[in-house]
Structure 1
Amino acid sequence: MNLWTVLIIILAFWGILYVLFGRKEEEEEGLAVDMFVIMWRTKKLLGFIDKIALKYRRFWKVYGTIGIIVGFGGMAFVFYMLIKSAFIAIKAKAQVAGVQLVIPGVTIPLWYGLIGLIVVMVVHELSHGVVARAEDLPLKSVGLVLFFVIPGAFVEPDEEELKKVPLVKRLRVYAAGSMANIVTALLALMLLNYALAPVLQPAGVEITQFDPKGPAINHLHEGDIIIGINGEQIKTIEDFLNFMNTTKPGQIIALEILRNGEKIIVKVPLGENPNNPEKGYLGVYPSQYVVSTIGYENIILPLAFALYWIYILNLGIGLMNLFPLIPLDGGRMLDETLKEYLPEKVAKPISFAFIGIGVLLLAINLIPAIRNLIG
């Protein structure tokens, strides 16, 4: 099934859905369908959020205040990293992606990616809601959303009431989502490092993707596990990279591969490394392959991979949400802080400048990722 067929099916789905269920007025509860947006709202979870927020009100206020500090620090860090990666992308003539698209089943593993994204959305929105209620701000509803093909979740505060409260309370609410993502990422990393890492050991390098211009695509398969090269054992990605740094273009290497549980030898003539013409190039994107030292691999390995993607996605998306670009939380934090302390004629141009620079930085960093996806 090609890209155009998929797009036609998606557009037909949305067209039929809009004809059958579309309505212009938003309802406080239930299903609402607009063009390319489905929203399901409910008030049934508001009592649960109230219980958590009001019982530990002081904790959530401190949590929100720490979130403000983390939020502005993360904002500066993301801005710096995007500027840095933009210069690298320009220097490399837009061949290096500074920002990766998150598409389960395409750019990240399907099921682990979906698990990670669900955790991202739930902790992010729940944190917004809990901190809002701890500040006595009313919530209108909670729910789920589907934007074109991207699922999401939301907690809907009363925006009019939110505008009336002091700046510090608004900042706590805005910062709470990314704060929750970063905390979740750190918890996942701790579990991975201290609970699972001791029972895992590296056992080769798995091929996850190919460079279409590299030689490996004609000889190897995705999912192949490299366990040796030219008789030398390969257990870690570092082993693999160290060996490849000793190779030359045109050299034929013998790869010992695990494919569907069978060991085979595959000989591959190396190409020319695009970053260093004097070194050999295989053209693969490797990931670390691990095994359990205590067995139970059907439990331990999926749990480890799930925690890894929960860590990666919560950290990455949590930080990107702090990028100072409206409507992201970081953009709202910066915009409302500027309006609070500067005259409108000064604050507005600064906000527009951040929006312009932000859009430009995202474009420079995203174009290589989109090109790589299209091929």
Structure 2
Amino acid sequence: MRRMVNLITVLAVIVGFWGILYLIGGAYREEKEEGLQIDFFVALWRTKRFVDFIDRVGTRFRTFWKGYSTLAIGLGFVGMAYVFYTLFSLALQNLRTKVATPGVQLVIPGVTIPLWYGLIGLIVVMFVHELSHGFVARAENLPLKSVGLVLFFVIPGAFVEPDEEALNKAPLLSRLRVYAAGSMGNIVTAIVALLLLSFVLTPIIQPAGVEVSNLAESGPARDYLQKGDIIIGINGHEIKTVEEFFDIMNKTIAGQIIEVELLRNGNKLKFTIPLGSHPDNPEKGYLGVYPAQHIISKVGFDNIVLPVSFSLYWIYMLNLGIGLMNLFPIVPLDGGKMLDDSLKAFLPSRVAKSITYLFIGIGIFLLAVNLFPALKGLLG
């Protein structure tokens, strides 16, 4: 119920923001080569200021960008098949079982992902993706009309706008290079972020307890613990990792009284808590805590090391997930454009269109089935 109220509040704020934006920017609804354009829950800002920069980088390193984007084509078709197969398999699983697993997660900063780290990750995703498109377009001698920012409802984005007529007339290989470059940039960025996490930051951080990320409404912990508490011990056993927390809780029984030691705002506290019955197993003990791993830096400077670590984690997660999802073979995603242009190049127009529409139909169905559990979980 509380989650539903929070969601309604968020939606009301968003709708109010767009209402004010329409009142302020109502005069900017006509399409312009530069400046602000506002439409139904879509705000576009175009500029030509960075076109020269993209042109210099794309043309100066033309050989690199052509090799990079040619490799991206192969990776793009492999990723396309992987994403389609994965969503197809998960959709079958969700249709066959009562317990559905989300195959597509909603990316909403502050709701489904952390606000600031999520925004940092999304900003990196959009700039890497669009710059890759732009660099490769210029390496292929395709002109750019503008670059800009876009806000679609609550989802921010960036874009590089090539000349559509020139792009449509370009050879198939050039178009495939441009389409595939965006996801390639995201996947490369995800790999770089993962390497930095694994070999630079992970060696200097360590687990230091279990953070209470949320509390179940029916759990006994709600009367004692608070969000943000760090559990460091249960019944005299030191707790450093989420795995140790679950190992101890899995051995408890309903009605058992446990002693929980924790840190709250730097102060050490102890609570004696009678356990409830676990929803999935009435005989098993239930605390009603949603645990998250708490970490600290081995070298100090927690206020620098930890934010950098969390930022890199979300840069990795969002670039990998969105980069792969963009290869899903439905138009207007890049994967759909790659598939559509390839089919048109080798098959009669009518057959190519039929196959494209078939993939769009199947793709929308797969997205709906895989997205439904996430929506259900969000609405409570």
State the match for 2:278 in structure 1: 272
Other structure's SS at 1:222 match:
coil
- Give the deviation of 1:199 after TM superposition: 0.9
Q: 1:14 aligns with which of 9, 18, 24?
A: 18
More displaced stretch, 225-234 vs 237-246: 237-246
How many Å separate the matches in 1 of 2:95 and 2:215? 23
- Give the deviation of 1:203 after TM superposition: 1.0
- Partner deviation per Cα, 1:40-92 (whole Å, 9 max, x = no partner): 11111011101111111010001101111111111122222222332343344
State the match for 2:104 in structure 1: 99
- Partner deviation per Cα, 1:169-195 (whole Å, 9 max, x = no partner): 111111111111111111111111111
- Partner deviation per Cα, 1:272-319 (whole Å, 9 max, x = no partner): 253x66654444433221111111111111111111111111111111
State the match for 2:349 in structure 1: 344
How many Å separate the matches in 2 of 1:28 and 1:113? 31
State the match for 2:214 in structure 1: 209
- Partner deviation per Cα, 1:298-348 (whole Å, 9 max, x = no partner): 111111111111111111111111111221111111122122222233222
Confirm whether residue 333 of structure 1 aligns to residue 306 of structure 2.
no
Q: 1:193 to 1:342 in 2, by over 3 A?
A: same
In the superposition, the TM-score normalised over structure 2's length comes to 0.91
Q: 1:199 to 1:341 in 2, by over 3 A?
A: same
Other structure's SS at 1:202 match:
strand
Unaligned runs of 5+ in 1: none
- Give the deviation of 1:366 after TM superposition: 1.4
Other structure's SS at 1:108 match:
coil
Q: 1:128 aligns with which of 122, 129, 133?
A: 133
May I ask how many residue pairs the two structures share in their alignment?
374
Confirm whether residue 285 of structure 1 aligns to residue 290 of structure 2.
yes
State the match for 2:72 in structure 1: 67
How many Å separate the matches in 2 of 1:206 and 1:72? 41
Runs of 4+ residues over 6 Å off in structure 1:
none
State the match for 1:224 in structure 2: 229
Unaligned runs of 5+ in 2: none
Q: 1:84 to 1:230 in 2, by over 3 A?
A: farther
- Give the deviation of 1:116 after TM superposition: 0.8
More displaced stretch, 33-42 vs 341-350: 341-350
Q: 2:259 aligns with which of 236, 251, 254?
A: 254
How many Å separate the matches in 1 of 2:34 and 2:14? 26
State the AA in 2 paired with 1:120: V
- Give the deviation of 1:131 after TM superposition: 0.6
More displaced stretch, 244-253 vs 338-347: 244-253
How many Å separate the matches in 2 of 1:97 and 1:212? 23
Other structure's SS at 2:177 match:
helix
| RMSD, aligned α-carbons | 2.2
- Partner deviation per Cα, 1:217-264 (whole Å, 9 max, x = no partner): 454322222222222222122222333333444444433222222222
- Whether the 8 Å CA contact 2:256–2:275 is kept in 1: the answer is yes
Other structure's SS at 2:106 match:
coil
In the superposition, the TM-score normalised over structure 1's length comes to 0.92
How many Å separate the matches in 2 of 1:250 and 1:91? 36
Q: 1:147 aligns with which of 149, 152, 156?
A: 152
More displaced stretch, 35-44 vs 22-31: 22-31
More displaced stretch, 244-253 vs 111-120: 244-253
More displaced stretch, 49-58 vs 232-241: 232-241
- Whether the 8 Å CA contact 1:94–1:364 is kept in 2: the answer is no
More displaced stretch, 12-21 vs 58-67: 12-21
